[in-house]
Chains A and B, each alone.
Chain A
Amino acid sequence: MRHLAGWSAAVLILALVFGTLGAVAWRADWSGGLGRADWLAIRFTLWQAFLSAALSVAFSVPIARALMRRQFPGRGLYVALLGAPFILPSIVAIFGLLTVFGRSGWVNDAFGAIGLPDISIYGLQGVVLAHVFFNLPLAVRFLLQGWQSIPVERFRLTESLNGSVWTLLERPMLVRVLPGAAAVIFLICLTSFAVALTLGGGPRATTVELAIYQAFRFDFDLGRVALLAVVQVVLCLGALSLAAAVPVGDGVGIGQDRALMRRDRHLLDWVWIGAGAVFLGAPLLAIALAGIGGLGDLPSVVWPAALRSIVVALTATVLSLGLAMALILWSNGARWIEALGALPLAASGLVMGAGLYLWLAPLAPPAALALPLTTIVNAAMVLPFAMRIMTPAYREIEAGYGRLADSLSLTSYARLRWLVLPRMRRPLGFCAGLAAALSIGDLGVIALFAGTEQATLPLAIYQLMGSYRMEGAAGAALILVALSFGLFWLFDRGGRIDADT
């Protein structure tokens, strides 16, 4: 049973990533190789992804540490809000960032008022800023998971023995968690595209995914599309194997699953918490302010679109958690299966969409497939995050309680029900929230397939903008943000309430 589920999940992922790539390559007329512009794109892609990942991870350590050590009213909301930037549709996030950091944004207004020169967000710095905005919160959440995995008893023990918490507990945990977090963020930034183009300032900031888009949309040169998609997969696999080469080390063992409470004072912690809140909160505030004006004249089509988005998001969530659970139970620690779960990050969303279209359009009218396909692709795209969050949690449970469970002959369903799932509530909730929120904001393959009857909310936003209705688009964007955040909060909260076992 475990094998069957695992194999099915693996086949589905391989089909989505390589099957679609194969379908595109099959239809291609092969012409030349990579040109100079392509190599420039590869170089820029790697460089910006490296910078974005390094900075996101670097800032995430002090913020996560501060959040771990401090209890304050609204901390729960703060942690929940950390999910918000990551799950914003990129077009919405870009406009939020520009309201704050743009040429006539808040920061430049403030600088101008005190006589400082303007800063420009356009260029490499803008691309990296936006990527840090998206991914810093994700890194913080990864690290919080890491910190929570250290049983609070260990902190007490270390302190009572006058040992250094940093050397004995925190640093080893970071060594375990950081490479994986950095790799995931690197991969996310590797396939970035709308951000890079809009904030990059021009063709200097061309990424590989953008080159794929152009080859596909503009030249319809499927050979180049396939070639560039392969380049992207290779880059991603390279990053994954680098991250995997870092020794994982042993976990710190299990405890009673209680939260850490500290009463000493550290000014610096509050500075980091405050800086994080301002950096991440200001653009969100800008989006809310822009959207409120547009709520008045929302076209009626927004509501059915929102409903479709919710259904797609919830189904994709169930599917992706199921896939992740199947792979994790099957893998038993096998690295290649875990790598399989990260594979969708390497895939170009565009190639997936086009490949599926080539496969399926002869079988059924594309519009009828739009929503199911969007759901499946979204589930696959979220899978790497689910794997990344759930795998360490599962490993620790097995390492800590596995033998006890074995000796009690607790197997299969009962083991899952009584041992694994209760102890995975936090990561499961976080995952479900992330999955739901990510899928609701994703334009996905819908743009290629949808008729007017299948528009999801992100597509509706693009259509509103395309018809000059920028205010309506801002209003719809606010609804999208509220929905995705609401779903995220609901699941994440559900996972944390009474999670002490």
Chain B
Amino acid sequence: MRLALTLTFCAGAAAADPLTVYVPDYFGSEWGPTPAIKAAFEQTCDCEIDFVAGEVLTRLRLEGDRTQADVVLGLNTDVAAEARELNLFAPHGLDTSDLTLPIDWTDETFLPFNWGYTAFVYNADVISEPPTSFEGLLEMENEIRIVIQDPRSSISGLALAYWVDAVFGEDATEAWTRLEPKILTVTKGWSESYGLFTNGEADMVLSYTTSPAYHITEEQDETKVAAIFDEGHYFMAEVAAKVAGTDQPELADAFMAFILTPAFQEIIPEGNWSYPANLPRDQWPEVFQALPEPATALFYTEEEAAERRDDVIETWRSALTQ
């Protein structure tokens, strides 16, 4: 008994504090990418990484500078401005000039690790002539049933509000009014919407251009297809940041650098079902290479996103409550 205690004690003393990394729920579960990332990173150092899954931004806001996090993962470009206002983060100090993103990246604090486009994914068994433009979507028959997410509670729902704003501008209210009869319902988050879509309740769901990759890879199902629109698709990236007050800055820096290495990036496509931010296209899984891709990326910088946010949400809300 005493021997066992001594051994445990020594083992505890030998290992340094683990690196605490906050990640979103979908990212941090057993079937998300974190187990693979943990294994890959711990091979590179004599260290331990501890992923804490939950609502990253909410936790940071509640904790402020008392946060336990050394690194946070999974903040979204549309809410980056609010995260920045917390003044919790340190510059990443990494070269982002060669990232494999459709836009230029110059941010010195937030480091993108994966990205994607918002898209309407449809069931090809039901919809034989999918729209090829946003305008075409609005012109579809009202019998079509679409599920979207609430922009006030869901990051993908917010992206749609920006997307409509970017495409239609002044005519956004009219666009929402024309879309409204086709909207079956609005859900709190992406998961509920997607569940409604996969169980056949809806014909079309607001999701991402990369969503079909999951069905092709895991289920050999090619009937879930993303409709590609001529006007372009709204771009979003998920970013990582180093917490300035971390008690292990070297390890945090090492992890930030690790994010851009192939070892991390190769886990992303089939771990988080999105595009890797620093991996040449020819190294993507074949399914991802074959996915149809939008010609134009529509994107609001974080300042634009912050400035337009209240407007686009109010446009959405008032058009759908009339």
A residues with CB within 8 A of B: 37, 40, 91, 94-95, 98-99, 102-105, 122, 193-194, 197-204, 210, 213-214, 216-218, 220, 290, 299-301, 354, 357-358, 361-362, 365-367, 447-452, 455, 459-460, 462-470, 472-473
Contacts and interface: CB of A to CB of B under 8 A. Distances in A.
Given A200-B185, A462-B191, A98 B54 contact: no
Contacts of B196: 98
Nearest to A305: B30
Contact of B31 (A104, A220, A299, A362): A299
B188 A197 contact: yes
Nearest to A91: B192
Contacts of B32: 463, 467
Contact of A447 (B31, B55, B145): B55
Contacts of B192: 91, 94, 194, 198, 465
11 contacts: A104-B200, A197-B150, A197-B187, A198-B187, A202-B321, A203-B186, A210-B153, A218-B152, A300-B30, A366-B59, A468-B218
B163 interface: no
A361 B63 contact: yes
Interface residues of B, number: 55
Most buried by A among B53, B55, B59, B180: B53
A467 B185 contact: no
B188 to A, nearest CB: 5
B26 interface: yes
B195 interface: yes
B178 interface: no
B113 interface: no
Contact of B201 (A40, A102, A468): A102
B58 A216 contact: yes
Contacts of B288: none
Nearest to A214: B152
Q: Is the interface of A mostly helix, strand, loop or mixed?
A: helix
A354 B201 contact: no
A462 to B, nearest CB: 6
Interface in B163-213: 180, 183-192, 194-196, 198-202, 211
Given A37-B317, A214-B152, A462-B25, 17 more contacts: A91-B192, A95-B195, A98-B196, A103-B201, A105-B201, A193-B188, A198-B185, A216-B58, A217-B55, A448-B59, A451-B51, A466-B26, A466-B190, A467-B29, A470-B194, A470-B195, A473-B195
B2 interface: no
B52 interface: yes
Contacts of B68: 365-366
Contacts of B321: 40, 202-204
Contact of B54 (A290, A448, A460): A448
A194 B199 contact: no
A451 B53 contact: yes
A203 B55 contact: no
A194 B192 CA distance: 10
Nearest to B183: A202
Contacts of A362: 66
- Listed from nearest, the 8 A-B pairs whose CB atoms lie closest are A466-B26, A465-B191, A463-B29, A214-B152, A301-B30, A468-B214, A202-B320, A202-B186
Given A194-B188, A466-B25, A220 B55 contact: no
